[in-house]
Structure 1
Amino acid sequence: MKNIIVGTAGHIDHGKTTLVKALTGTDTDRLIEEKKRGITIDLGFAYFQLPSQRRAAIIDVPGHEKFIKNMLAGVGGIDIVLLVIAADEGFMPQTQEHLDILTILEVKKGIVVLTKTDLAEEEWLHFVEEEIQEKIAGTFLENAPFVRVSAKTGTGIMQLTELVDKMTEETETRNNKIPFRIPIDRVFSVIGFGTVITGTQIEGVANIGDAVSILPMGTNAKIRNIQVHGKNVQTSYAGQRVAVNLANVKKEDIKRGNVLAEYNSMHSTMMLDVKVNLLKNSKRIIDNRTRLRLYHGTSEILCRIVLLDKDELRPGESCYAQLRLEEEMVSKMGDHFVLRFYSPLETIGGGMILDPNPSKHRRFKEETIEELKIKEEGSSEDVVEKVIKRFSSALENTAFYAKQTGLGETTIEKLITPLIEQRVIIRFLDNILIHYIFLDELEEKIINIINKYHQSNPLRQGISKEELRNKVIPKAKTKLFDEFLEYFIALDTIKQVDNSIALKNHEIEFSVEHKKIYNELTNSFTNAGFQPPSIEEIFKNAKNQKNYQEMLHLLTEKGELIKINEEFYIHVNYYNKAIELLKQYIKENKEISLGQFRDLLNTTRKYALPLLEYFDQNKVTKRLGEKRILY
């Protein structure tokens, strides 16, 4: 069944609360001060049964200009607005401000409700309706139905209820397929139950037992109980007024303006990329870096506006901007917001969030403006591509992009399928999504680093994978980086030589000196047999120790020498001969001692012991006391 939130709007003392009571039987003025002063100060909530047996929640907002902040906290999640205008006063200043706010927030449907009609003559009512029609021309209420009501006599109440019911059928169904989100408008404690928050569930599905986060603080909790329309339920859905009993969190740790969301589904931010529209009737010209008040969900946050494509913003104009916030908040792409002047308090405009977690932008940068246009006007597929392009270097997965865009993982999967087929993005290990543009940049970086390595190390076959990873993209896990390398090897850009990575056409070229050192070392180790020269002996007469070190490394990489330890290398032929003699001896004698191995090789303990220890480490032999057996 479709869930609907109805909200009131209108000037102070025009009968909003009385109308709600006539519709629902509930007096939403709950504060002592509200009773005393006869005006609504904070939000009120009630429920009423529609003729179709649907139950709609209704939010009663304050009309006084001093309480616009509270009004804004209530209207963000409504589907249908009742614009309440008293017949004896007509269209008033707060009527206009409320209408402006509703327009900014892109409320789609509404009914103009003329209250206190028992106090006016027919001629006057007709005059007031004409005036209202002029005021709402060009707004979403231009073709809205008018209903005359009197809470005192009951006139029009049933007609209004039937009209709300009919309009309910035409409202869009909210998205229950993405992580749930509830901007918090009230928090209190119930003896025996603990902390309870209330709010309008604007997205998704919540269940008892779900892990949740209270944002932007990042406090984690668990849902203990849920109430909808005053009744306990197992599950709540988008479009419902809900009360959620939370476990593992204190009332003092939560306030209006916070957001209850599915665990790990949203990021907090200190900046927003937005499209801003300044009201035509605004009295303000907004300069770059003007300090403003931002209203989003149930929160109010101070910010400075950085105009990205204009020097100033005049009434009726629009522009792209970045809002730099004075405290953290959470939002999603596509959310709407309202802006008010810092002082004096005036509603000046609002707009839509295009990027809820941007990097800091320079003004008048064409690339930035073009990206924001795509985010504003492009398809969801365009938006996902741009976001993946932007965050490819962060090596993020589908869950991150679902959180970043607010589209949900299932939707992200559907949107990336054609992008993968078109070779716009590619999926790697652990669902890491990478844009091909970033892959091209990564390839260029890898080639440059390997090329520099070849120039600095002419006797090396290539750079080790780990050294390359640390120089190219250290945040990448080893397995992911190996997958990147496999991708570029398949493209025939680079090659793997043993455990090193080299450019595709790289071959080691010996200089005259290199050839001399090569011959000297290979002859020395070949002739020495099982008593090879030590490193100290090799370097003793060397004019350029680095060249000798590099040649030793190369001979080891190529497998011509085996490095036993830091001081002991042996020619591969003698190494293999040692293993052959060792295995044959143990097969015949079942075991071998250090002395027996020494005599077998006709060498000394100095060489025999390191060789045996090397065999132990590499599981050729296994030591048992003073003897060794085959592993």
Structure 2
Amino acid sequence: MDVSAAGPTGMDVVATAGHVDHGKSTLVTALTGMEPDRWEEERRRGLTIDLGFAWTTLPSGRRLAVVDVPGHERFVGNMLAGVGSVPAALVVVAADDGWSAQTAEHVAVLDALGVRHGLLAVTKSDLADPAPVLADAAERLAGTSLGRVPAVAVSARAGTGLPELAGALEQVLAGLPAPDTGAPVRLWIDRAFTIRGAGTVVTGTLAGGTVTTGDRLDLGGRAVTVRGLQSLGAPVETASATARVALNLRGVAVEELSRGDALLTPEAFRRTADLDVTLVRPVEEKLPAELVVHIGSATVAARVRPLDGSALRLRLATELPLRVGDRLLLRDPGARRVHGAEVRDVDPPELRRRGAARTRAAELAEQPLGEAGARADLLRRRFVRRADFVAMGWPVPADATAVGSWLLAPGLADELAARVPQVVARYRQLRPLEPGPPTAVLRSALELPDVELVPALVREPLALRDGRVVAGAAALPPAVQRAVDDIRARLLQEPFAAPEAGDLVAAGLGPRELAAAVRDEQLVRIAEGIYLAPGVAEQARGRLAALPQPFTLSEARKAWGTTRRVAVPLAEYLDARGVTARQPDNTRRLR
């Protein structure tokens, strides 16, 4: 029997575990007054085949939901679906039978899952002296993750020991850590069926988070809506962990669902088929190339690649929504052995070089969980989108650098910013007529995953201008600067006498040089081949202001003292910038 702590819904969730003949279901019925076996075949054979459910209220007022799991070895998969979301256990052993192979198998599962809170119930105490079995079973459990647990002798048929059992349950439940009701929802589905007039209904144990009617949840990449919500057979608006819940879903047919699917808070989990794990306990024997992975109610085949020591890389046959820190159960069906494993990375690096597997195992061995582990993981990745990092299960390190949707490893932004001046200087050396590298060039040079990161790395005296990284007023090459200075000196005397094409070529100012001078704001390009000095628009407006309004192009040309070659594009230039307005009769007036 596995137990999870009460949440705001006032409920504890229990799953029975033990041998098929140890009276689990009978004990559940005696404790709750409800028959957990749901199928006629189960009642006829007296054998729990699938998960059963019941609930009751303990003397203190605590509400208790029970998940009765199969005890027979043939239904171990169903048993695992019922114990995957619970942090405590009640092991049921019969006084007239004692510890069995199935008991050992169930306890091995609990041990592999790291269950640390528990209770031992020795049933059928009316048929045999329970003391020897109590002592033997308690000693066996002491060597597992459960340690020393309270033990109670009961007889479901005679009704003896039930008050003591309820009291012991109260004691265990009171010592459990409070569930995180604000956590993202990951509800592993253990049943799916239809109800006339309601449609698709799923059930599961809500181990963390809160679900409310109207919530939109993710189901394998598709959005579904919670139409209705029940807990312990009664409709509720909201259910918080820990709770047994039934959700009426809109947006999915029951034929599209199966045990092991998960309802998720959108974008809160990363679905992955490749992950790195470490075994909770080292194993001496060589692991098989294929194992079965269990988490929640999900069962997935996996290929195993040993890295080194207790570290493994798993490739799942089907993607699962996993997080760093999740506890998995790895089962070898052939040898009937189980191993506990902790998820360490849900987006592991490729292993290409010789010795990469051993290096990776060493990294995992040195990397803790929590914020220290998050910092180490971020240092290895260097860049990661914040939403992806959180979905992996990591907290955001306090000294990480946030840039837009990205997280940068601690210190990385300063390190990269220090390299930017070198990149800019090298680019200007190779392309002296350009003010600086485009942001895409800087992104490539620094191996950034997104151009969105560039602004955070450009620091004074550098600046971003027109999509380029420039060093203030970027200087033109000396020869080009002298030629531009000569032209500007001539324009100072005659501001509208744009140099002829031949004069520009003779001065060494080709298209690239002229474009650089325009970018540097030393010349203004009026039209193809027409270059004047900055401020020409204001000078042109000043001369037009002395003309009667409206005026003709010929009048403007005379006011400017220039040729038609310059006057026509200059007039159009002023029109485009709103200095002048062209009239229907082709005259113009100042705005």
Task: State the TM-score, normalizing by the size of structure 2.
Answer: 0.88
C-alpha distance after superposition, 1:475-525 (max 9, x if no partner): 6466x643443xx22xx5x34578742358975553xx6567556765787
- State whether structure 2 residue 248 is matched by structure 1 residue 245: yes
470, 483, 493: which one pairs with 1:502? 470
Inter-CA distance 503–533: structure 2 relative to 1 (3 Å threshold):
closer
Per the alignment, residue 570 of structure 2 pairs with 611
Q: Which moved more, 1:251-260 or 1:200-209?
A: 251-260
Q: Which moved more, 1:258-267 or 1:464-473?
A: 464-473
Inter-CA distance 609–370: structure 2 relative to 1 (3 Å threshold):
farther
For residue 294 of structure 2, what is the amino acid of its counterpart? Y
Q: CA deviation at 1:158?
A: 2.1
User: Distance in 2 between the 1:534 and 1:158 partners?
Assistant: 107
Per the alignment, residue 143 of structure 2 pairs with 138
C-alpha distance after superposition, 1:394-448 (max 9, x if no partner): 4x34x544333266xxxx5xxx5xx2xxxx3233446x54333331453256345
User: Distance in 2 between the 1:167 and 1:78 partners?
Assistant: 13
Q: Are the equivalent residues in 2 in contact too, given 1:208–1:235 (CA < 8 A)?
A: yes
Mapping 1:436-475, distance limit 5 Å: 436-443=410-417, 446-465=420-439, 468=442
The unaligned stretches of length 5 or more in structure 1 are: 311-318
Q: CA deviation at 1:235?
A: 0.8
The percent of aligned pairs where both chains have the same amino acid is 31
- State whether structure 2 residue 258 is matched by structure 1 residue 296: no
- State whether structure 2 residue 224 is matched by structure 1 residue 229: no
Per the alignment, residue 43 of structure 1 pairs with 51
User: SS state of the match for residue 78, structure 1?
Assistant: coil
Per the alignment, residue 313 of structure 1 pairs with none
Per the alignment, residue 307 of structure 2 pairs with 308
Inter-CA distance 516–274: structure 2 relative to 1 (3 Å threshold):
same
Per the alignment, residue 572 of structure 1 pairs with 534
Inter-CA distance 22–78: structure 2 relative to 1 (3 Å threshold):
same
Per the alignment, residue 285 of structure 1 pairs with 286
User: SS state of the match for residue 308, structure 1?
Assistant: strand
Q: Are the equivalent residues in 2 in contact too, given 1:303–1:325 (CA < 8 A)?
A: yes
Mapping 1:339-350, distance limit 5 Å: 339-341=330-332, 344=334, 346-350=336-340
Q: Are the equivalent residues in 2 in contact too, given 1:181–1:260 (CA < 8 A)?
A: yes
Per the alignment, residue 187 of structure 1 pairs with 192
User: Distance in 1 between the 2:351 and 2:413 partners?
Assistant: 24
User: SS state of the match for residue 119, structure 1?
Assistant: coil
Mapping 1:106-185, distance limit 5 Å: 106-120=114-128, 122=129, 125-185=130-190
Q: Are the equivalent residues in 2 in contact too, given 1:429–1:483 (CA < 8 A)?
A: no
Q: Are the equivalent residues in 2 in contact too, given 1:292–1:305 (CA < 8 A)?
A: yes
Per the alignment, residue 621 of structure 1 pairs with 580
- State whether structure 2 residue 341 is matched by structure 1 residue 351: yes
Inter-CA distance 580–345: structure 2 relative to 1 (3 Å threshold):
farther
Mapping 1:62-101, distance limit 5 Å: 62-101=70-109
User: Distance in 1 between the 2:525 and 2:540 partners?
Assistant: 14
User: SS state of the match for residue 168, structure 2?
Assistant: helix
Per the alignment, residue 383 of structure 1 pairs with 373
More helix by share: 1
User: SS state of the match for residue 140, structure 1?
Assistant: coil
User: SS state of the match for residue 162, structure 1?
Assistant: helix
Q: Which moved more, 1:190-199 or 1:594-603?
A: 594-603
User: Distance in 1 between the 2:193 and 2:175 partners?
Assistant: 35
User: How many residues in Structure 1 have an aligned counterpart in Structure 2?
Assistant: 580
For residue 263 of structure 1, what is the amino acid of its counterpart? P
User: Distance in 1 between the 2:465 and 2:262 partners?
Assistant: 54
Inter-CA distance 183–404: structure 2 relative to 1 (3 Å threshold):
same
Q: CA deviation at 1:278?
A: 5.0
Q: Are the equivalent residues in 2 in contact too, given 1:340–1:349 (CA < 8 A)?
A: yes
For residue 37 of structure 1, what is the amino acid of its counterpart? R
Mapping 1:510-549, distance limit 5 Å: 510=478, 514=480, 518=484, 530-533=496-499, 538-539=504-505, 548-549=510-511
For residue 197 of structure 2, what is the amino acid of its counterpart? G
Per the alignment, residue 561 of structure 1 pairs with 523
Inter-CA distance 505–594: structure 2 relative to 1 (3 Å threshold):
closer
Inter-CA distance 346–444: structure 2 relative to 1 (3 Å threshold):
farther
Q: Are the equivalent residues in 1 in contact too, given 2:416–2:457 (CA < 8 A)?
A: no
C-alpha distance after superposition, 1:462-484 (max 9, x if no partner): 23456645765786466x64344
Task: State the TM-score, normalizing by the size of structure 1.
Answer: 0.83
C-alpha distance after superposition, 1:226-254 (max 9, x if no partner): 11111111111111111011122222222
User: Distance in 1 between the 2:446 and 2:587 partners?
Assistant: 48
User: SS state of the match for residue 449, structure 1?
Assistant: helix
Mapping 1:316-335, distance limit 5 Å: 319-335=310-326
User: Distance in 2 between the 1:198 and 1:258 partners?
Assistant: 11
Q: Are the equivalent residues in 1 in contact too, given 2:440–2:451 (CA < 8 A)?
A: no
Inter-CA distance 162–207: structure 2 relative to 1 (3 Å threshold):
same
Inter-CA distance 251–344: structure 2 relative to 1 (3 Å threshold):
same
User: Distance in 1 between the 2:34 and 2:379 partners?
Assistant: 52
Q: Are the equivalent residues in 2 in contact too, given 1:81–1:109 (CA < 8 A)?
A: yes
Q: Are the equivalent residues in 2 in contact too, given 1:462–1:497 (CA < 8 A)?
A: no
The unaligned stretches of length 5 or more in structure 2 are: 1-7
Q: Are the equivalent residues in 1 in contact too, given 2:501–2:529 (CA < 8 A)?
A: yes
User: Distance in 1 between the 2:225 and 2:403 partners?
Assistant: 33
Per the alignment, residue 455 of structure 2 pairs with 482
Per the alignment, residue 32 of structure 2 pairs with 24
For residue 103 of structure 2, what is the amino acid of its counterpart? T
Q: CA deviation at 1:279?
A: 7.1
Q: CA deviation at 1:36?
A: 3.6
